[in-house]
Amino acid sequence: MGDRNLIIYSFYFIHIVRVTAFYGLLVYNICFSLMDFVCREVYFTIKSQPLNMSSTPDTTSYDHTTAPISDTLNILEESVVFLKGLLVTRLMPLFYIFIILISLPLNTLALVAFTCRIREKKPAVIYMSHLACVDLLFTLLLPLKIHYQLNASDWVFGEAVCRVLSAAYYCYMYCSILLMMSMSVDRLLAVVFPIASLTWRSARKATCVCVLVWLLALAGTVPLLSMSQTVKTENVGVTCHDVLRQNDPTVLYYVYLFSILSCLYFFLPLVVTFVSYSTIIYALSAKSDRLTTSSSSSDKRKRAVIMAVAVLIEFVVCFAPTNGILLYHCVHLANGGHREGDSSYAAYLLAVCLGSASVFLDPLLYCYGSSQCRKQIRSVFCTTTPSNTNSQTKSSNLSCEYTVSKFKFSEALYVLE
């Protein structure tokens, strides 16, 4: 039996290495080609003509860190119609309000359950508590975005708050992506190497990974705090992270920064997450897995496969459009395609709005989609009554139990089944 398991694990390991190497080389070539193209286009475009979303040239130089809204710009009529249109000023704010109403209680309850109610801090609990914290922090900032759009894209909170809001969104997005990637790798280890990975998947190492994720997300988005985000326009008002000035030295910075962030903080994690969940699905669906023949265990594996597919779909649907359009927008800006840049940015704002749904999809899929986690969250509302009898004490403990069950292969995904 031991030799058979060793052969199976070796086969899975070889399969993971081959798939990871293939997709790793593929994404490396794609990212390298895109970055080379963007850098060349930016260099020649900046030398030949300025970049701007405005229709009136602005040849005066200025310090973008001091008074970014001192000059009034005229922007394209199409941009004015979009920024003051029904989609931006009514439909998007309504969707953000819906997100707050769903996300706030779900993530608050999940965070309380993970941090206060669960005693045994396993890697799954640590990853999900950090993910709930990220989603909750972003949800608390959404009212500023709602006010801005309901006010017809006229920002009234000042330059500093606009910079914080812009940086916070990208920090949330990339922190969520990196955490989801880390969870996919952790689940892969739990399924493919259920015994050997017990030493790798410790609470201390999971905490270190989460700290590293926070540091990477902050390092990638902190530069936005030093860049001008507000621009005063004639027909709209003060915009926040929506309009670029002509001859602004930060335009080149924008193109470089977001191109790098999209490639390193999304496309690379996308490959890792896709390979991890594909291997998980393959491992759970393999006919060679015959550790048990019970119908209950088979149902658990089927639910685990469905949950893995759902998480992978959520990852792609919520984050792929935003980062794909962002990279496309940067390329067209670098190529001097102002009209194309405007249309791609309109699609980008819509993708950002729809992608924000991940703040309530995360707790639904990762937390409430798991029978194990539902038990932990029910313990938040569970009340016990003191009793002198052993039978009542045992019944109370069973009803309020929130410790994770012992490790089994049929429960290797810990939060998926």
Interval 336-361: pLDDT, tens: 655 554 567 788 889 999 999 999 99
**Domain harbouring 36, CATH code:** 1.20.1070.10
CB 408 within 8 A of CB 194: no
The verdict on residue 417 lying in a domain is no
pTM for this entry: 0.76
Classify each residue of 187-212 as buried b or exposed e, where b means 16 or more C-beta atoms within 10 Å of its C-beta.
Answer: bbbbbbbbeebeeebeeeebeebbee
In this structure, is residue 416 part of a structural domain?
Answer: no
pLDDT digits (tens, 9 = 90+) for 24-61: 444 444 444 544 444 443 333 333 333 334 434 444 44
Q: What is the domain extent for residue 199?
A: 2-411
Q: Is residue 166 part of a domain?
A: yes
**pLDDT for the residue numbered 235:** 81
Q: Is residue 176 part of a domain?
A: yes
Whether residue 365 lies inside any domain: the answer is yes
Task: Quickly tell me which residue has 């429960």 as its tokens.
Answer: 411
**What residues contact residue 355 under an 8 Å CB cut-off, 6+ apart?**
173, 317, 318, 319, 321, 322
What is the per-residue pLDDT for 225? 92
Number of domains in the chain: 1
